[in-house]
């Protein structure tokens, strides 16, 4: 139907928006993340994901890092012991409060937190350029190109973006179990192509975790799974619990181990400013 269409004719901003409009999950706002902050921090505190990411980022004691969409400090806290300073930006006050509390407990005095979003004017907020800019699982934005350009502008040396590979972080089996369609929305491939359209040519490293996810209890598992959906009915909630029960075992420590259809996979997308 489009015999003369080439790659250069594609509008990746529009394609990104189209895919977001068709996704089967709901974007969470600051109030949602405020409520999630404590449990989110707890679940990510001992995840192997953190080391797998940080092992791939060149760091030293003189490096300054800007962490965009920092959450409760999933990366900012372990980064603080490896670098000169970390600036953590997030639009959820609850997330930053948890981050600040954990930083005090760990005597991480080189973390500076700022309440702000991707859409805010970072110059007006007196945010300076940093050696490295990071956005880890935080680019669910309306305008991806602008967010990526902002990261690029505020990085002196390099940029690292961690983006999901569909269907991560969702469990497609859970959608089937409650009779809801699963539509992924845009994942890392949109990010790579958007960067290409900006004349930035990144490296891509795939981070793969296990198919299984552990929870301290069924209540914790249900809380995590509810986060995937909007407005669950009582019937759907029952089906969701049955799905978790049918696809889980209990280990020797009493933890609930849920097996998902696909492993959790993330793309670490990076580029150097002097070699885009």
Hey, where are the domains in the chain?
Answer: 7-210+263-275, 212-259
Q: Residue 32's pLDDT is what?
A: 74
CA distance 175 to 246: 14
Which tens digit of pLDDT belongs to each residue from 14-33? Answer: 999 999 999 988 777 787 77
Average pLDDT for 79-97: 96
φ/ψ of 87, rounded to 5, equals -105, 115
Spatial contact of 193 and 8, defined as CB atoms under 8 Å apart: no
Output DSSP code: residue 126. Answer: T
CA distance 243 to 238: 9
Average pLDDT for 85-100: 95
pLDDT of 264 > 70? The answer is yes
Mean pLDDT score across all residues of the chain: 92
CATH class for the domain made up of 7-210+263-275: alpha beta
Which tens digit of pLDDT belongs to each residue from 121-165? Answer: 999 999 999 999 999 999 999 899 999 999 999 999 999 999 999
CA distance 187 to 165: 6
φ/ψ of 17, rounded to 5, equals -65, -40
Q: Residue 172's pLDDT is what?
A: 95
Higher pLDDT, 9 or 100: 100
Spatial contact of 90 and 67, defined as CB atoms under 8 Å apart: no
Average pLDDT for 177-185: 94
Which pLDDT band, with edges at 50, 70 and 90, does 242 fall under? very high
């Amino acid at each position: 139907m489009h015999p003369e269409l080439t790659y250069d004719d594609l509008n990746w901003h529009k394609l990104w928006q189209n895919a977001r409009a068709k996704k089967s999950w709901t974007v969470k706002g600051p109030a949602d993340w405020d409520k999630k902050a404590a449990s989110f921090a707890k679940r990510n505190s001992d995840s192997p994901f953190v080391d797998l990411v940080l092992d791939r980022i060149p760091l030293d004691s003189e490096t300054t890092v800007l962490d965009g969409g920092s959450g409760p400090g999933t990366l900012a806290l372990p980064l603080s012991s490896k670098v000169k300073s970390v600036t953590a930006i997030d639009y959820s006050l609850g997330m930053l409060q948890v981050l600040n509390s954990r930083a005090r407990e760990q005597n991480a005095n080189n973390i500076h937190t700022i309440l702000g979003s991707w859409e805010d004017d970072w110059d007006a907020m007196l945010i300076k350029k940093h050696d490295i800019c990071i956005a880890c699982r935080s680019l669910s934005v309306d305008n991806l190109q602008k967010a990526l350009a902002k990261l690029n502008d505020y990085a002196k040396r390099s940029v690292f973006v961690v983006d999901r590979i569909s269907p991560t972080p969702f469990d497609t089996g859970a959608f089937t179990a409650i009779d809801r369609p699963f539509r992924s929305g845009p994942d890392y491939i949109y990010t790579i192509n958007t960067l290409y359209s900006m004349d930035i040519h990144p490296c891509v490293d795939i981070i793969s975790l296990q198919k299984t996810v552990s929870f301290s209890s069924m209540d914790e598992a249900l809380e995590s799974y509810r986060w995937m959906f909007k407005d669950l009915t009582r019937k759907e909630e029952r089906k969701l619990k049955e799905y978790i029960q049918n696809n889980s075992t209990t280990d020797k420590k009493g933890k609930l181990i849920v097996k998902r259809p696909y492993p959790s996979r993330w793309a670490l997308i990076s580029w150097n400013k002097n070699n885009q």
